[in-house]
Amino acid sequence: MPAEIKTHYRACNLCEAICGLEIKTQGDQVLSIKGDKNDPLSRGYLCPKGTAMEDIYTDPDRLRQPVKRVGDTWLPISWDEAFATVAEKIVAVQQQHGADSVAFYAGNPNVHNYGSMTHASVLRKAVQSKTHFSATSLDQLPHHLTSFTMYGHQSLIPVPDIDHTNYMLIIGGNPLASNGSIMTVPDVPKRLKAIQQRGGRFIVIDPRRSETAEIADQHLFIRPGNDAYLLMAMIHTLFAENLVNTGHLSHLLVGLDDVRSLSQPFTPELAEQRTGIAADQVRQLARDMATIDGAVCYGRMGVSVQVFGTLCQWAIQIINILTHSLDVRGGLMLTSPAFGYVKPGESGAGHFAAFHSRISGLPEFAGELPSTVMAEEMLTEGEGQIRALITTAGNPVLSAPNGQQMDEALSGLDFMVCLDFYINETTQHADIILPPTSALEHDHYDLAFHRLAVHNTARFNEPVFQPAPGALHDWEIFNGLGLAIAARKGIELKPLPSPDKLIDMGIQRGPYSAAAGHPLALTLDKIKQHPHGIDIGRLEPSLPERICTHDGQIQLLADYLRQDIARLENTPAATDKDELLLIGRRHIRSNNSWMHNAHRLVKGKPRWQLLMHPDDLAARNLTHESQVRIESRVGSVQTQVLASDEVMRGVVSLPHGWGHKRKGVSLSIATEQDGVSCNDLTDNKLIDQASGNAALNGVPVKIYPVQARGAQA
């Protein structure tokens, strides 16, 4: 008799949109994956990656058992042997070279997997090293630093109230491809269209006419890395034209006069010179922000991951504050999640510059050093050198700048262990790989992204499939490995209970609990009874009670910003006419570096080429679809160029996460794809100096023709 057909509801955890999926299965087969129409947040939306959840589950290349390296091959081993070997090696390295010689790198999917978030601490406590890196410093570190210094908590990050805004200024974000970031916004195409349908507008500022720019009311090109001039000039204009209105936050603002005086030199005319956006247009943007009711300014990767990333994110907060757009309907608002609600006294506020990296002296944030220094800390001999690495759900060889240097650094380690289910560009360097279950085999509650969602909801999902016999979840690996290391060191350490139990405790202490006197009296059990998710309401104004600074005031200007504003003032304009600025690109069918092994996502026309303006091609005697050599300070790659007026003159665009034809990679579909790694060009020394975040956008490159085979140079 054929197995029964079952219907499951499960959030997709591939990106920040956390769409609800309706998954039909029969036995261990997926029959269909569709958007869950009854999900109160995603309302039936899903993107092509949602259906690829099946491909991860069925992928024959996905590891299902721990493996250890033997020469150039991998030998399956038991969990007991794996944990014992890793414990022995880690403890030996620490005995010989010190506790901090073992480093951690945590990749992006950790925040999409609640068991990793709740349980990584067990392993950390056992290892006791203060050398931590993560994808945060290749991404949203400027947001955390800004929230930490202004509002007193790194996770008190307000998001656009997109469902009620009348004017949205999107700077360096492409939600139509990314489905939103630091703004959980499933169904973003409809939500953007709804702004226009209610008579509002949205404007995109981007060096590329992105998919989002295509449907915007207005798109303005901007020279990469220069947004800070635009934002400072908007602040300048708000003061100069007497447009400042700080509304209900007025009595909370510390440092307003300093902001005014520091913005003085940044005229719209200076912004025009640096950005290419006309001075009058700059003024108009400021006026619109100030005069339109329910306006919001939002900036993402393009402005976070560039040389003035922190200054940009700070200036965006300031613009919202000065135009009475913070904590008001249609503006930038705080979320009220059932778990992880940030209020004064909440742990994990963050700390900054408590210690610095050994070689470049970059500051830590919340206990992490910038990932741009990870390779140099491995390659530079001396006391404190990193000798072993634990990666969890990360692929720094393709994700961090100067990938070739990272490759070399990893190959020189004494020991490396990876929690990952693929043998990819990074994990191929490991001695042992510990593969967790895939997403459909474990339960799920989104810890990170309900906290950033444009509408408050809560949802718990049971596993779609039972895990294969003997398989372990990420959280069980953290428990098992942590205990094995602790036992070897003679430290007493207890395993943590399963993640669902931990979050139930959090929910029962949260704002919708009986303890808080809320009529919903939420518990995890109650949430479980609603597999589509529970609607817990729109975003509501919630300041000043939520501000976590020591005095309850909003600190408009931290000291490091004064230095950074001076740095902006003193940065000369670029003069090298041959130089082009490299920016990234995301595509709806791609997901960072690790979803290129799904046939349904990579089929069709290739998407890894370099985009270049026709005039820039002509100036170099290059033609559409020709092979070019791209050179940066750190490396050189060859790829195909496409002529495109999508990018502004002087700018080229190459997506990251490609370049799978590296030695040792065991991904049968991904390794068939052409394309090079953008991060073989991005520069580990090109950083946002305020935070140490990588500047992966706006990287200076030069481009040359590649001579056809046999042709004379």
- Residues forming contacts to ligand MGD in the complex (CB under 6 A) are 15-16, 107-109, 113, 135, 138-139, 171-175, 177-179, 181, 205-208, 210, 222, 224-225, 227, 300-303, 306, 392-396, 399, 419-422, 424, 436, 474, 583-584, 586-588, 590-594, 656-657, 678-679, 682, 696-698
Binding mask 91-130 for Mo ion (x = CB under 5 A): ----------------------------------------
16 binds Mo ion (CB under 5 A): no
CB closer to ligand MGD, 402 vs 553: 402
Which parts of 19-38 interact with ligand SF4 (CB under 6 A)? 19
Residue of closest CB approach to ligand MGD: 302
CA distance linking residue 488 with residue 470, whole number of Å: 24
Read off the tokens for 98.
């010190």
Amino acid (1-letter code) at residue 571? T
46 binds ligand SF4 (CB under 6 A): yes
CA distance linking residue 630 with residue 636, whole number of Å: 5
For residue 435, the SS3 value is coil
Q: Which does 172 bind (CB under 5 to 8 A by kind): ligand MGD, ligand SF4, Mo ion, none?
A: ligand MGD
36 binds Mo ion (CB under 5 A): no
CB closer to ligand SF4, 62 vs 68: 62
Q: Which does 12 bind (CB under 5 to 8 A by kind): ligand MGD, ligand SF4, Mo ion, none?
A: ligand SF4
Read off the tokens for 602.
């990579």
Kindly tell me which residue out of 8, 18, 138, 650 binds ligand SF4, with binding defined by CB under 6 A: 18
CB closer to ligand SF4, 296 vs 439: 439
How many residues belong to the site for Mo ion (CB under 5 A)? 1
CA distance linking residue 522 with residue 524, whole number of Å: 7
How many residues belong to the site for ligand SF4 (CB under 6 A)? 12
Give the rounded distance of the alpha carbon of 654 from its chain centre.
18
CA distance linking residue 128 with residue 677, whole number of Å: 34
Stretch that binds ligand SF4, among 46-54, 238-246, 328-336, 524-532 (CB under 6 A): 46-54
Stretch that binds ligand SF4, among 10-18, 472-480, 506-514, 601-609 (CB under 6 A): 10-18
DSSP H helices, 292-368, are 301-304, 309-322
Q: Which does 392 bind (CB under 5 to 8 A by kind): ligand SF4, Mo ion, ligand MGD, none?
A: ligand MGD
CB closer to ligand SF4, 56 vs 235: 56
Q: What is the dihedral of CA 510, 512, 516, 521, to 10 degrees?
A: -120
Q: What backbone torsions phi and psi does residue 69 show, to the nearest 5 degrees?
A: -75, 130
170 binds ligand SF4 (CB under 6 A): no
- What is the per-residue burial (b if ≥16 Cβ within 10 Å, else e) of 347-360? eebbebeeeebbeb
Kindly tell me which residue out of 54, 139, 227, 683 binds Mo ion, with binding defined by CB under 5 A: 139
Amino acid (1-letter code) at residue 467? P
CA distance linking residue 253 with residue 60, whole number of Å: 56
CA distance linking residue 297 with residue 329, whole number of Å: 13
Shortest reach from residue 225's CB to Mo ion, in Å:
19
Binding mask 588-627 for Mo ion (x = CB under 5 A): ----------------------------------------
Shortest reach from residue 139's CB to Mo ion, in Å:
4
Q: Which does 698 bind (CB under 5 to 8 A by kind): Mo ion, ligand MGD, ligand SF4, none?
A: ligand MGD
CA distance linking residue 509 with residue 516, whole number of Å: 7
Kindly tell me which residue out of 12, 204, 319, 374 binds ligand SF4, with binding defined by CB under 6 A: 12
CA distance linking residue 239 with residue 430, whole number of Å: 55
Stretch that binds Mo ion, among 8-16, 137-145, 437-445, 492-500 (CB under 5 A): 137-145
For residue 392, the SS3 value is strand
CA distance linking residue 616 with residue 614, whole number of Å: 5
CB closer to ligand SF4, 437 vs 592: 592
Q: Which does 50 bind (CB under 5 to 8 A by kind): ligand MGD, Mo ion, ligand SF4, none?
A: ligand SF4
Read off the tokens for 560.
């490091």
Q: What is the dihedral of CA 367, 371, 375, 380, to 10 degrees?
A: -40
Yes or no: say if 366 and 351 are a contact pair by the CB < 8 Å rule. yes
Helix (H) or strand (E) holding 218: strand 218-220
Radius of gyration over alpha carbons of the chain, in Å?
A: 25
Shortest reach from residue 47's CB to ligand SF4, in Å:
3
Q: What backbone torsions phi and psi does residue 193 show, to the nearest 5 degrees?
A: -60, -35
Which parts of 49-68 interact with ligand SF4 (CB under 6 A)? 49-50
Yes or no: say if 580 and 632 are a contact pair by the CB < 8 Å rule. no
486 binds ligand SF4 (CB under 6 A): no
Q: Which does 186 bind (CB under 5 to 8 A by kind): ligand SF4, ligand MGD, Mo ion, none?
A: ligand SF4
CB closer to Mo ion, 66 vs 175: 175
Stretch that binds ligand SF4, among 17-25, 123-131, 247-255, 677-685 (CB under 6 A): 17-25
55 binds Mo ion (CB under 5 A): no
CA distance linking residue 310 with residue 232, whole number of Å: 13
Residue 666: name the closest of 358, 495, 468, 427 by CA.
427
Yes or no: say if 653 and 610 are a contact pair by the CB < 8 Å rule. yes
Burial (CB count within 10 angstroms: exposed 0-12, middle 13-18, buried 19+), residue 258: middle
Binding mask 177-216 for ligand SF4 (x = CB under 6 A): --x------x------------------------------
Shortest reach from residue 168's CB to ligand MGD, in Å:
13
CA distance linking residue 138 with residue 129, whole number of Å: 21
CA distance readout (Å), 206 to 50, 250, 647, 713: 27, 32, 9, 37
Shortest reach from residue 448's CB to ligand MGD, in Å:
11
Q: Where along the sequence are the contacts to ligand SF4 (CB under 6 A)?
A: 12, 14-15, 17-19, 46-47, 49-50, 179, 186
Q: Where along the sequence are the contacts to Mo ion (CB under 5 A)?
A: 139
